[in-house]
Amino acid sequence: MGMDKAKKDELLKKLAQGVVEFEDDEVRDAAQEWVDTGEDTYDAIFEGLVAGMEEVGRLFSAQEYFVPEMLMAADSLYIGLDILKPHMIPRDSGVKGTVVIGTVQGDVHDIGKNIVKMMFDVAGFNVFDLGRDVPLEDFLKKQLETNSDIVCLSAMMTTTMMGMPKVIEMIRQKNPNCKIMIGGAPITDDIVGKFGADATAKDASNALEEAVKMIVSLRDIQREAQANKG
Amino acid sequence: MTNNTMTARERVLRTLKGEKVTPVPCFSGVGNVTTKGLDKLGYRFADLHNDAKKMAEAGMSTWELFGYECVVIPFDLCMEAEALGCVMNPYAETNELLYPTIKEKSKLTSEQLRQAATPELLTKGRIPMIIEAARLVREKVGDKVAIGSYVLGPFTLGGQINELEPLLKGALKKPDEMLEYLDAMADVIILVANHLLKNGIDYVSVREMGATSDVLSPRVFKKVIFPSLKKVADKVASPTILHICGSVLPVIDMMAECGFDALSIDSKTPMKEARAKVGEKTVILGNFNPFAALNTGSADEAYNIAAQCVKDGVNGVHPGCDIWPTAKPENIEAMIRAVRETSI
């Protein structure tokens, strides 16, 4: 059982490259080959598939890749993930959180939301996806039900982002500690301030980074609260 | 002829013909109803979409209240999709201000679209109602102000009728299939746009925001999007405006090459660079972010943003998107004043 470093590197490269070039077959074969060795698939997911997706994110920021390329890469990633995930030995990565995500009512676009959701999924977050055209009060309901650390709201157009401040206000009233991220084409840092959200991100990789920062700060607050009690 | 004696309608239509009008017109080819207008009429936004009289009255309200130089109907993006068998959600039951969306997609194929592209299509959905609304507007405003309307571009309409994700992937992976699909979609759009222009609408915007360069690469735009857009430009009567929001600098030369009477761009596309790429002869409308200028900013900011558009050389001051109804009246007034007071 197991594999030598050269083989491992070769498969990691195939997984990453396969995602970047959306070569579904290459990803499928490399993932299966890895599983067949009997080795833990944690590295295959994070140093293979996710590393590939990070490169896709870089190409997207550099405007070499666009939305269709991103979608194709995400499909390849999921093909690999479906094969690898059942064989991953769960571990405590330190930062794990619960996220409620959805596209606000009036907006039926969910591609950007789905890509962000994928990043959370692979990073080990517990994700509750409400879908698209989500009635505003449903975000609050789900947040209270799951006690999620983060709520992510998506809107594609100026004409549909106006539901966001209402959701933010509802959640702030009931649970001021919950972090709120907003995203989509019309969202700027200026809008984040005006709507009273906590953050936005220019793409899915940055969204994940922001989310991890939020979880870390939430954990700090919880630890402090715990310490004060003691 | 002194420009002062021209009606708003003449100012807009001459601009779209490529004539220099001073000051440039301040108008839109997309939605611009305001909460102030709705309150005055006593209508909810959701009530406007299925009622010719309410649509006409609301459509005129921004012109009547502020002297905004256009009347644009309808207010949603579902007219053609409905005629093609999709079901619209007008959000009638909520009190939120929401733009209608398509809740059931008819998922027509290329072949079905070709079959649908007959004059019978023009009797379906709300198309007759919108023509009736245009007639009511004309009855009231005469020749004083131009009446605008819009259709979606082939790719964007495709995203209303079918799931967007396969279309986006298809643009990359199956360009020939997509070319055929968009060509069939163009037939529908040509039919509808010409019908509008023959029946009381003075100018038509073609909204192709789905193909903005934030979404599709310039390479895909050239190969997959351009041919059907050019077909629409070639076969629809004048005047037409091609409106694409987001960043379009990488494709603006191709947008110009399509042959629409004017291009409309939003604030994410820098005006001076756009002008440098397409030259003085291309009519460019733009290019401010309506939400930042009219809803969140101060009246002074609205004034400065509109004045800057004029200084940057737009042929008409035009928002990058629908004006969001809660726009502040004092900001709309400041925008219109700025356009009148700023010369280049």
**How does pLDDT run across B92-120, given as a tens digit for each residue?**
988 778 999 999 999 999 999 999 999 99
Write phi, then psi, for A57 (nearest 5 degrees). Answer: -60, -40
Domain ranges of chain A: 5-87, 98-229
Contacts of A109 (CB under 8 A, 6+ apart): A103, A132, A154, A156, A157, A184, B164
Q: For residue A200, which of A145, A162, A132, A150 has the smallest C-alpha distance? A: A150
Instruction: Say which residue, A9 or A225, is predicted with more confidence.
Output: A9
How far apart, in whole angstroms, are the C-alpha atoms of residue B136 and residue B57?
8
Domain ranges of chain B: 3-337
Name the CA dihedral angle for B81, B86, B91, B97, rounded to a multiple of 10 degrees: -20
CATH no. for A5-87: 1.10.1240.10
Mean pLDDT (whole number) for A116-132: 90
Chain B contacts in chain A segment 183-222 (CB below 8 A): 185-186, 190-191, 194
Q: For residue B252, which of B242, B240, B239 has the smallest C-alpha distance? A: B242
Beta strand pairing call for B316-319 and B240-244? unpaired
**How does pLDDT run across B194-207, given as a tens digit for each residue?**
999 999 999 999 99
Q: For residue A124, which of A100, A97, A145 has the smallest C-alpha distance? A: A97
Sign of the C-alpha dihedral computed for residues A115, A116, A121 and A123 taken in this order: positive
pLDDT exceeds 60 at position A230: no
Burial class from Cβ neighbours inside 10 Å (0-12, 13-18, 19+) for residue B338 reads buried
Contacts of B34 (CB under 8 A, 6+ apart): B61, B62, B65, B323, B325, B326, B327, B329, B332
**How does pLDDT run across B114-156, given as a tens digit for each residue?**
999 999 999 999 999 999 999 999 999 999 999 999 999 999 9
Specify the pLDDT at position B213.
94
DSSP alpha helix (H) spans, B174-298: 175-198, 218-220, 226-235, 252-258, 271-278, 290
Burial class from Cβ neighbours inside 10 Å (0-12, 13-18, 19+) for residue A161 reads buried
* Beta carbons of B321 and A159 less than 8 Å apart: yes
Mean pLDDT score across all residues of chain A: 90
CB contacts of B102 in chain A (<8 Å) are 108
Nearest to B102 among A75, A105, A108 (CB): A108
Beta strand pairing call for B87-89 and B101-104? antiparallel
Q: ipTM exceeding 0.85?
A: yes
**How does pLDDT run across B223-253, given as a tens digit for each residue?**
999 999 999 999 999 999 999 999 999 999 9
Give the best residue of B87, B93, B152, B164 to mutate against chain A (max A CB count within 10 A): B164
Assigned superfamily of A98-229: Cobalamin-binding domain (3.40.50.280)
Reading phi first (left if > 0) and then psi (alpha if -120 to 50, else beta), residue A133 is in left
Specify the pLDDT at position B146.
98
* Beta carbons of A109 and B164 less than 8 Å apart: yes
CB contacts of A158 in chain B (<8 Å) are 289-291, 321-322, 324
* Beta carbons of B173 and A111 less than 8 Å apart: no
Q: A107 touching B, CB under 8 A?
A: yes
pLDDT exceeds 50 at position B1: no
Specify the pLDDT at position B255.
98
How far apart, in whole angstroms, are the C-alpha atoms of residue A64 and residue B170?
18
Specify the pLDDT at position A1.
54
How far apart, in whole angstroms, are the C-alpha atoms of residue B133 and residue B56?
5
User: pLDDT tier at B161 (50, 70, 90 boundaries)?
Assistant: very high
Assign a CATH topology to domain B3-337: TIM Barrel (3.20.20)
pTM of the model: 0.92
CB contacts of B246 in chain A (<8 Å) are 185
Q: For residue B78, which of B105, B111, B55, B44 has the smallest C-alpha distance? A: B105
* Beta carbons of A68 and B99 less than 8 Å apart: no
| Token duo for residue B180 | 């055929």
pLDDT exceeds 60 at position A15: yes
pLDDT exceeds 90 at position B53: yes
Q: A165 touching B, CB under 8 A?
A: no
Percent of chain A clearing pLDDT 70 (strictly above): 96
